[in-house]
Each structure stands twice: as structure tokens, then as C-alpha cells.
Amino acid sequence: MSERDVILNELAQGLRPMAQGVEWFDGLGSEEQSEVLRFLCHHCGQARAVEEDGPEAVRRSGLRPTYTPAVLITRGRIDEQLGKVAGLTPVDERRKAFRLLVAVLAIADERRRRRFCSGGCGHWWHQLAGADAAARSVGSDGAS
């Protein structure tokens, strides 16, 4: 698991503020941003995103429904649209795509967690909240 993997999963689970995620994303080079968007697209598919996730993802991302990524995600087959969103190249569209794809991942992963992981699972990314809480408790009393 890489730092990128942790950051993206923390964003999708609401364990890290989106403003911090956007700042991190903006600090990446163009090729790294493309890589992150492709990674998110792939993981949305792995989490079994469905067409119905599009409108809710637009709402959660805070994007206007008329923005290009928002229009794309609500039109047609989700797997095709995810790829189109991830492939946007203008800088301002990439930032919107990032916010939107994180929201799609959040929705699809929440559903996957409810359906398949509610009794516990071995997915490392579903253990982040516990690890984050443990790190906070260790740091709060000065112990190491």
C-alpha cells in the first residue's frame, strides 16, 4: 500500500478533508494527476460503481451538475463514463474529476462494505478508521 492509496481511501471514507485532498492533488505533476485519476477510475470499477451512483456523486462532490465531469458521469454506462472523466486534461477539469471520482468511490465502497464486509473483512482500506483512531490515541497522551 502506498501513500497515494492511503490518501485516496481516507478521502473516500471521510477520514481526511476533501480540501486537503485537493491540495495534495494540485501539488502533483500532470502525469501523476493522470495516474491518480486512472487509479480512482479503476477502483470505482473494483468497488462496483453503478450508473445510479452518478447523481449522488455529483451532489457529494459539490460540483455543479453542468460541469463537464458531472455531465459525463450521469450519461450512459458508468464504466465508459468513468474512463472519460479520468481522461479529462484541462487543469480545472482534472480537479473537478478528482473530486467526483473520490465521491463515486465513496458511494460504491460504502455499498460494498455494507453488502460484503459488514461482518468484518481483510481489506486493509476498511481498517483505516481503526488505525487512525489508534494513532490519535497514542499521540494524545504523549506516549509512544
Range of the domain at 82: 3-140
Residue 123: predicted pLDDT: 45
Total domains in the chain come to 1
Residue 44: predicted pLDDT: 94
Residue 124: predicted pLDDT: 40
Residue 142: predicted pLDDT: 38
Q: Residue 68 burial (CB < 10 Å; 0-12/13-18/19+)?
A: middle
Low-confidence ranges of the chain (pLDDT < 50): 122-124, 126-127, 130-144
Residue 117: predicted pLDDT: 59
Contact 25, 36 (CB under 8 A): yes
